[in-house]
Amino acid sequence: MNNRRGGTARAARATALVLVLTGGGILGGGAARADNGIDTLSAQQIADRSRDALLGVRSLHIDARGDLAERNPSAALGLTLDRDGNCDGSVDLGGSRGSVRIVKRGDDVWAKPDANFWKNQVPVGGPAFAAILNGRYLRGKADDPRLRGVTDACDLDVYRHVVVDNAENDRGTLNKGRRTTLDGAPVVPLTRIRDDRTLTVYVAATGKPYPLKITVEGGGAQHAVVALSAFNRPVPSATPPPDETYDINALLNRTPAPL
């Protein structure tokens, strides 16, 4: 389960790509009720305020689904993560390619790949690993290179830096739409057309201007959606109990096949 296969790392980078394409800040923290007045701002001003909101975020939940630059409409990513590197969630590569349940707390990482993951992402020895684990989590240290794909997916700074570094990108046309609602919340949509892609960011019109949803259409990405929620809420602190885990080094000692 290393970067050679890198299923989780690819999913994280693909999600980051969706964030890059917006060309402005798209993450943020909690939702208040007071109108924030972004209706009166320009599209770029709204994007700038969203970027600034990102800088204060301590944690958030990301749900990404669809064709995330891998020609795979069924790929999905659902992770709650924070600036300290704590993480809880899962990555589904779509179809029969497999999924991985992920928990990271401090310097410890737990990963539970399903049978399809072992079969398709680790073809040499994968089924044997799955049999040994028998539904348990694989446990290791965050700095273990064999678990780099998991730890990369849990790095909030990956997403934050992508947005901040591209906040001043002026490629494409950025337009502000009319105020509307998203799941009952008032939002102002920003649409950017670039490289044959149409990206729409729905920015909260109450409280701070935190984006709540990003959609991508065209340009090779048939359809992708990234939803942001649980802003500044702590990552769940529960970790798998010892009887549901298996040490990665012990696993390697049971079989000669490399991860």
Q: Is residue 189 assigned to a domain? A: yes
Q: Is residue 1 domain-resident?
A: no
Residue at 108 is within a domain: yes
Dihedral pair phi/psi, residue 203, rounded to 5°: -100, 135
Residue 164 has pLDDT above 80, yes or no: no
Report the C-alpha gap between 119 and 117 in whole angstroms.
5
Instruction: Look at the chain and report how many structural domains it folds into.
Output: 1
Pairing of β 173-176 and β 87-92: unpaired
Residue type, 248: I
Is the pLDDT assigned to residue 52 strictly greater than 50?
yes
Using one digit for the tens of pLDDT, what is the confidence trace for 66-100? Answer: 865 555 557 888 999 999 999 999 999 887 889 99
Is residue 2 in some structural domain? no
Q: For Cα atoms 159, 107, 75, give the angle at the middle one, nearest 5 degrees.
A: 40
* CATH number where 192 lies: 2.50.20.20
Looking up tokens 């509307």 gives 180
**pLDDT tens-digit map of 14-39:** 554 444 443 333 333 344 469 999 99
